[in-house]
Amino acid sequence: MFKTYPGMIIHLEYGICTQGLDKLTLNAKAAECYEWKHFVVAEFRDELLEEIDLDDEYSSSVCPFKCPSCDKEFTKLSGLFQHADSRVCNASLSSGVLSKLLRTVETLVVCTYKDDWYLSISGPNSILAGNDILIIQRSLFMLDELYATSRDVSKIGKALTANDNVQALELDVTKPEHIKRVSEIISKNDDGGLDYLINNTGRNHFMPILDEDIESAKLIFGTNLWAPLTILKAFAPLVIKPKGHITSITSASGHINVPYMGSYAGSKQTLELATDTLRLELEPFGVEVLCVVTGAVQTNDQPYFENWKLPEDSLYKPIKQTILSHCQGQDSYKRMPLQGYLSNVVDQICRRATGKYWYRGATTSVKWGTSLFPQSLFVGYTLLQLHSCLLALSNEDCIRSGIKERDRTGCFGKAVGAMRNGSAM
């Protein structure tokens, strides 16, 4: 069983987990409420630290506690945990105070009181990859079992699979036989229940609608829509049993008109509608369902578009480089840091949030923009982006693509007019 844990923070500057520290989650009362105890100890370099005053409420009764590395006991000293050989501190500080301490951190050890599990991260500037963050979350959740799935099991990080409670399973979400096999494996373990199901299936895709190959578009919908729905159907009984939580990762592109992403946006928006409907249908069974509306994140999927190209007869040939730059993440759009995105999503899942969660930043702007302003403003903006590229082309390129000077300026003027007047287009 998972133990829910409110308030998680990943310290982006150092890439070190300082989970929930400003929300008073590690004192004795909270530990008693959640029926487990957890703290973080840090081994410091020789530099002197500022004197820090701690409230007595942070002094949870977990001492004496033996260091998992050398088996020596910690002793409490002025609200800090003092290692026999070096200085260590109880991590139940405010995030601001802890950030000062982390400047001299040599090693961070994440400890759980019940099973003595820990993780060491060498160096103060260690940047945690997605798998590493999941490892830390294991100590925070007191996770008994984690199932990590991939089409290629060898690509699942070794830092994750090295843990006894992590089981790597082969799963191609487009193959029903894979889904059936994985669901059967999980149903046979422990009590046959699944506390959390995170549906992160997705295939990115860029192509103007008029250039879309219909069979390719069907594959996009197959991966981004039908596969997640198949997983939801197969795993629903496992999630209903412990009254668990389901999360679907959807896309902000389904809420605005993003050129060249029509098929992808359509598949993700349909998944969001289906998942949000499932939220209502599963509510009587005590299952909570969440959609995480996601914008552009700094990931490694851009290299997959190195061989991307338009059809030879495409109307958009003159701006193929502009579209390719967007595919490969080389445009001017600011993307979300992966670590910050993951920590916020995990936080919402641990809170058992329901409905829709819009990750902050540009995605929040989309949320409020589409809620408060006329849609024509967004249509006008995207038209302005597209046709400003066309205006920059030579007449020869435009003629070769069948785009006349009058058409270019007319579309451009229409876009500007829509933005100024707020009229429907």
pLDDT tens-digit profile of 76-86? 332 333 333 33
Q: How confident is the model at residue 372 (pLDDT cuts 50, 70, 90)?
A: low
The total number of structural domains that make up the chain: 3
Domain membership of residue 131 (yes or no) is no
Whether residue 241 is found in the same domain as residue 294: yes
For the ranges 86-95, 166-175, 211-220, 378-387, the maximum mean pLDDT occurs at 211-220
Model confidence at 313: pLDDT above 60: yes
The mean per-residue pLDDT over the stretch 344-354 comes to 80
For residue 393, what pLDDT is reported? 45
Active-site residue numbers? Answer: 264, 268
Instruction: State the pTM of this model.
Output: 0.58
The mean per-residue pLDDT over the stretch 61-88 comes to 37
Whether residue 194 is found in the same domain as residue 299: yes
Domain membership of residue 62 (yes or no) is yes
Which residue among 367, 385, 410 closes a domain? 367
Whether residue 242 is found in the same domain as residue 346: yes
For the ranges 24-33, 251-260, 325-334, the maximum mean pLDDT occurs at 251-260
Q: Is 192 left (phi over 0), alpha (psi -120 to 50) or beta?
A: left
For residue 160, what pLDDT is reported? 63
pLDDT, tens digit, for every residue of 217-243? 999 999 999 999 999 999 999 999 989
Domain membership of residue 384 (yes or no) is yes
For residue 226, what pLDDT is reported? 94
CB 325 within 8 A of CB 308: no
| Phi/psi of residue 119, nearest 5 degrees | -140, 130
> Is the Cα dihedral 54, 57, 62, 64 positive or negative?
positive
For residue 163, what pLDDT is reported? 64
Whether residue 113 is found in the same domain as residue 215: no
For residue 156, what pLDDT is reported? 72
For residue 21, what pLDDT is reported? 33
**DSSP at 82:** E
Q: Which domain holds residue 338?
A: 171-367
Domain membership of residue 18 (yes or no) is yes
Whether residue 90 is found in the same domain as residue 115: yes
Q: How confident is the model at residue 316 (pLDDT cuts 50, 70, 90)?
A: confident
Residue 365, helix vs strand vs coil: helix
Q: How many Cβ atoms sit within 10 Å of the Cβ of residue 418?
A: 22
Model confidence at 46: pLDDT above 70: no
For residues 168 and 159, give the distance between their C-alpha atoms in angstroms, rounded to a whole number.
Answer: 12
CA 154 to chain centre: 21
Kindly report the average pLDDT of the chain as a whole number: 61
Whether residue 187 is found in the same domain as residue 334: yes
Model confidence at 3: pLDDT above 90: no
